[in-house]
Structure 1
Amino acid sequence: MTALVTGATGFIGGNLARALWQRGEKVHALVRPGANDIAIRGTGVQQFAGDLLDMDSLHRAAEGCDSVFHCAAVYAFWSRRPEGIYAANVQGTRNVIETALKVGMRRAVFTSSVSTIGWPDAPGKANEETPVNPKLLVGHYKRSKFQAEQEALTANEKGLPVIVVNSCAPVGKWDVKPNPTGRIPLDFARGRIPGYMDTGMNLVDVDDVAEGHILAMERGRPGQRYILGNRNLTLLQVFRMLADITGRRVPRFRFPYPLILGAAYVDQWIQGAIMGQTPRIPVEGIRVARHPMYVTSQKAVEELGMPQNSVEIALEKAVRWFADHGYIGTRS
């Protein structure tokens, strides 16, 4: 198999590209010029300079590939140009689908997000069938991913079998940027967590997410969605795990939601509007975190055989990777 991986310099895409290469697969990676390629540097992954919005470069990268893992996306809860999020996430997905059809690929896996999963009406865990109300999708990232997922699913009607995987909150190695979830173990290890919010998430080892992508390509049913997650945890539980790993204290103070949201608006005004920098406390991120997103990955485990490795070990791997690559004690 020769697979194209978009977003191969990112967190999920980088781990996926490495996993495919380590299995002996031939891998093409679409890499934006100037991107930090440390996640795939020194591997046999063949890099093609290009961009999701550049059809010629997409075609060059896709030539000779029989499948595509479309992992590339703008994962951000703040942007000075929100239209850029939609261009990359929605139009970029259309372009990947069009390219895959043109070169005659046999199969595709689209990396979506747990953000596109609906909230259950009654207390409990959401699954792939929980309906989502698009009006309740908070922020540009969630809305763009929902639209992109719809684009991916309609490709099945055009003759390209597409499987959607909805990743939960991944942690582990090769979080180069790092992503919003990865900032949790990073900031905790730096001692920059003064308190916590009463919220929660579904945490998963990024290695399991990468394996889930490969299993979806091999065993997934076209037109189906598979939640790639593991354990539902409160943020305080995650901090307790990180305390055991790092030796730092668990934050004592639980900040009420209105206080955090107010601080986020102030931070976004100062950092974003005035200084032109990414806010440390993005308003969209706080609004998303107000409701814990607890889900079940039973479908992915039963149909695909997705592994469920220890999230404590995943957090430990994340902290160790950040330490080994000089992130702890820096301002990255």
Structure 2
Amino acid sequence: MTNGKIALVLGATGGVGGETARALIAHGWQVRGLTRTPRSDDGRPGDGIDWIVGDALDGEAVLRAAQGASAIVHAVNPPGYRDWEKLVMPMLDNSIAAAESVGARLALPGTIYNYDPRSVHVAAEDAPQRPNTKKGAWRVEMERAIEAACDRGMRALILRAGDFFGPRPGNSWLSQGMITPGKPVKRIMYPGARGVGHAWAYLPDVAETFALLLDRDNALPAFARYHFQGIWDADGSVMADAIRTATGNPGIRVGGFPWVLLPLIAPFNATMREMIEMRPFWQNPLALDNRALVEILGEEPHTPLVRAMATTLDALGCGGAVEKGGEIAYVRGHA
């Protein structure tokens, strides 16, 4: 059953965009996905996304795709996470212009990078934003541009969350730093300092939160910001234990992350340069205060961690646990 509402998702082929698109469909929305590459169903029959060929850098294409939309989800990033300084604001400006033109609410997946974890350890929505990374600075600039548009009459929703993981993770610390996709998990590399907490967010739960909030559009302020608490790993052991349980292998060893090697690779790899910049978030705890979110929703969507991890590992080709006949069966992954 549909609710008659249309959402345009930019970045629907990615992690948070794809999951949000599917959550909105489950809530009865008609979802359009803007993509540079022609496709019918993203290789996944039954996804239900209406794919439109276009580029987020093409303002006219975004505006055409947004006609009749009640929400525009801006979940797109520069290809390969390169050239943020050249591309990130033009893409956002196109989404803002489209939202203003058609009267849609603009939804942005936010991050913890707006904050400096050396000075803020528990962040409410109005905590001082003094980022110590380039990506964090751009995130703050993006939110300022959105707030300025709301001052002109646009409506927006920003949902900040910790590091993503899930079946469609995109670039994530779990899949790029802790384990090796496509192989059984035999060792976990943990990037954090011992005893330091870290915030994680399971993408389907974030997506469900977006859908629930957008369903309540009339109850939201024009410039709505919420924090998704997600999974708080207080000392670095929670995620590792979840991997062990999800794979049925309690003997998986946890080792340190090779931070000292990253500078050797960084000159040739943009992802490595970004990872180095994010090290303070692994050396200092930064949790998100979700009281405002719980106040409007009643509770934050939460998939049990082992189930979330098993789904993620299975999608990454690393094995995982599946429920079968009331029991847990373990899939070992690909050799």
CA contact (8 A) 1:6 1:71 kept: yes
TM-score (norm 2): 0.80
Q: 1:49 to 1:163 in 2, by over 3 A?
A: same
Residue identity matched to 1:207:
P
Structure-1 separation of matches of 2:317 and 2:14 = 19
Match of 1:73 in 2: 77
Match of 2:93 in 1: 94
- 1:78-127 residue CA offsets vs partner (Å, 9 max, x unmatched): x6x5xx2133322211110011212x2242222221221454847x5222
TM-score (norm 1): 0.81
Counterpart of 2:173 (choices 171, 177, 180) is 180
Gaps of at least 5 residues in structure 1 are none
Counterpart of 1:156 (choices 150, 159, 179) is 150
Structure-2 separation of matches of 1:53 and 1:289 = 33
Structure-1 separation of matches of 2:205 and 2:260 = 36
Instruction: Indicate the SS of the match to 1:129.
Output: coil
Q: 1:244 to 1:151 in 2, by over 3 A?
A: same
Residue identity matched to 2:192:
M
Q: 1:253 to 1:7 in 2, by over 3 A?
A: closer
Instruction: Indicate the SS of the match to 2:128.
Output: coil
Gaps of at least 5 residues in structure 2 are 320-332
Instruction: Indicate the SS of the match to 2:122.
Output: coil
* Shift in Å, 1:213: 0.9
CA contact (8 A) 1:226 1:300 kept: yes
CA contact (8 A) 1:171 1:204 kept: yes
Instruction: Indicate the SS of the match to 1:109.
Output: strand
Superposition CA RMSD, Å? 3.2
Residue identity matched to 2:251:
R
Structure-2 separation of matches of 1:163 and 1:298 = 16
CA contact (8 A) 2:155 2:222 kept: yes
Structure-2 separation of matches of 1:44 and 1:206 = 19
Q: 1:323 to 1:185 in 2, by over 3 A?
A: farther
- Asked if 1:30 is matched to 2:46, the reply is no
- Asked if 1:249 is matched to 2:215, the reply is no
CA contact (8 A) 2:240 2:254 kept: no
Match of 1:229 in 2: 229
Match of 1:137 in 2: 132
- 1:129-175 residue CA offsets vs partner (Å, 9 max, x unmatched): 22122xx421x322222211111121111211112111222322233
CA contact (8 A) 2:188 2:240 kept: no
Instruction: Indicate the SS of the match to 1:73.
Output: coil
CA contact (8 A) 1:67 1:107 kept: yes
Structure-2 separation of matches of 1:72 and 1:127 = 25
- Asked if 1:113 is matched to 2:106, the reply is no
Q: 1:252 to 1:242 in 2, by over 3 A?
A: closer
